[in-house]
Structure 1
């Protein structure tokens, strides 16, 4: 009996409730009253109308201006479209319509009663072109950032002077991204507006009191470049000047490549000889490795932590094997070290009129006066140069003959030997190096050579005599240059005579070899 009356009650309740629901939710396919998408009131709209309204909002939003500010006088105005703002949850109008229209009768009734008391807001999901957003903030950083300048040292004739530091003010890109996104989502009504970016303060390192302690010589080293030409000498002096005056704080890593590049004429460099894949070639900045090598040896004597060092592809003559430090921007070779002391260090570098380069590292000496360190090179293996190599080069004019000296191959290692009060306390290998063997390379220019000239050059090469090769190449070049002049016949005869001499030398050499075999 109770079940019977319970069923009657539910039936009666449904009859009373249903008309109310139909009035509130409407059967005309429109969104219920009190429903918002973002800040847009979509009450009474169809799904299509709501989508159109939201799209119009985004069009208006993207055509608005945003002024990004990093403080007084530091603003950039961009279009919102520059941030690549998009609407991600494009099905949100369907969700808005479903409220009060979907579910069982009780769920729909509850939803409509809730809307009578409080509005319901569906969030718009904003999308951004992250790359575009980063580009905009990178532009802000470039224009607004005030570089941090650490306290530094300057060595003068009267000693050291402390240079003042400067506090840096930097746009915090990561935090500023969040500020922009939060503002657009929660506070923007598509009007032109100003957004305050996050700016962080970066205090300079050091102080006058700390730097006043830097006076002790931790390590110094000198190499000579007296045989260098004007261009290479200028490169050594220029690279040294870029490093001179560097102040490095405890724990900081110093990169030689970052300090002395770019290798351009605008940065003070000239074309000069340098090593490349076993060849000596002209490159802007040639000779710069002597700068890094000299500094490397000063760093070793100061006993700082070396984090990157490479040997040359071929042996150099200004230091012992394994005591070099090569630099190659394109080859990924760099010299880096860390100030592993507890105090700042200062690098002094200078060159002299008699072509010597010196680096001295100043700091606070904490090593015992009886502590001494020295480095010794040990050659483990030597590879003699192989037979001469002859190369024809179509980029060089006919008549050109260039010679690159042979280089012995080496395997070597560098020992660090520490003594305390005259007694050796440790001996360890600092590095191991392998240097290529490179034969003497004779390059013969062939630009403009015809088939006959090439044959004569090959005949001269087969003699294996550089003098003969130069004579033949020179005569061929002269003959080519004299074509169409009154000296053409004489030049041609000189070329033929040189070829005949080369052929005779080749025959004599072959006869001598046969005689030796028979004997």
Structure 2
């Protein structure tokens, strides 16, 4: 019993000793591990396995790294020369020309941060991992981007061979297919890659930059066929800014599509070849030279009105008519173009040379600058009517005029009342105007498309109203004597008609408009002075009434 107890005590003592020894060993092991970690983490400089741009920076401080790369890289830039070639063209430059600068500060800082971030265990194991597998830090650089782009663009422009696409050349009665050929351009990405590698490796040399070949687009049969095929188009005459423009005729063209496909397939690799195509041509009805010969070939209509210059008023009217007519003379209107009298003639002012003459204003006959211009617009209006052109806007005078039949006048007043007409023919027209020998003349020249066409104008008087008479008693004038101080005018309402005939056969008769002319009162002085009976017989005589106004208004 006693021996058993003793044995148990001995066993317990041994077990405790083993446990204590084991704990002591583990403690020593942990202490050693911690010492290893401590000495590992407390090391100065970059850790083993850290490289910058392939260069080992083990144990190097920030200053050592910076000095090493500054002397190894920055100082060597001036010695790196590059020659880039492309065919017969080459360019030489030094890396300093590009303003290259290495970011050594960033790389050195990054290298010294390796293994120095996170908790101690994370740092320790990262250091061990890098020691085995290594870590390379890229040495970044910067450069003058504008200088590089200018160099690339200059190289590109001087080595570019543009691609020529296939196209059709149209001549009078000949169609040629011009086959395209490939172009060549700078491989910009390769250019950049060569520069990048030279900066990183600090190695220059001669580098061939092979061009990129740019193939022309594949010729599509449908596209070529559609470009060729067309109906004939007549030549066309229009006007722009008062000048005649002739659009040339186009021949109709046809080609067999399957034959065209075979031709394209046969010549698809004949770069730059000129292949005449078997096109069938069709003549248009009107060719360019015919259109030129038809321009202003015919006088569509002529209109004349007369005027007097016997008084200063009428003389001034004649001057005003000359100025206005000269503004219109030579005016060319294209098909569909609208003529505006006020736009063409412009303001009637003293500065523009116009004189004072009688005109109708607000129901009165008064002196005004430019009186007589309405005779120009009215004469032109009649030429327009006889030319069968389209009237856009026309207004008759307030009172009747004496130089044209009723219903055929066109009143104008700058900024208030205009006369407009439209060239409704298919050809340009030209207005010819002249004032000579007391006559205003207008001719409209164009192209008569309906030979034998004539225009007749007529009017129907719907109503007439005599001029009212106003008497003014004059005590200084003897009884029985009268003096006309204002000549009146009757009023009218008339409908104007246009009849179109071809070779004497009536084609149409249409009412153009209704014109209403107001009355203008006559004013007469009559004597109220009583006359004593004469003792002697006097000769029988009487004064002729005097018409004070002997002027022709506008």
Taking structure 1 as the reference length, the TM-score comes to 0.43
User: Whose helix proportion is higher, 1 or 2?
Assistant: 1
TM-score (norm 2): 0.41
Rg (Cα) greater in structure: 2
